Amino acid sequence: MTFVLVIKELNTFTMIELKKHYENSKNRAVLFMETGNINDYLNALIEMNRYKKLMLAVARN
pLDDT given at position 11: 67
Which residue range is the domain that position 37 belongs to?
A: 13-60
Q: Give a yes or no: residue 8 inside a domain.
A: no
Residue 16 confidence (pLDDT) above 90: no
Total domain count for the chain?
1
The whole-number average pLDDT for the span 21-46 is 95
In a domain, 29, yes or no: yes
Distance CA 18, CA 50 (A): 10
Q: Is the pLDDT score of 22 beyond 60? A: yes
The answer to whether residue 2 is domain-embedded is no
Phi, psi dihedral angles at 18 (to 5 degrees): -65, -40
Report the 10 Å Cβ neighbour count for 41: 18
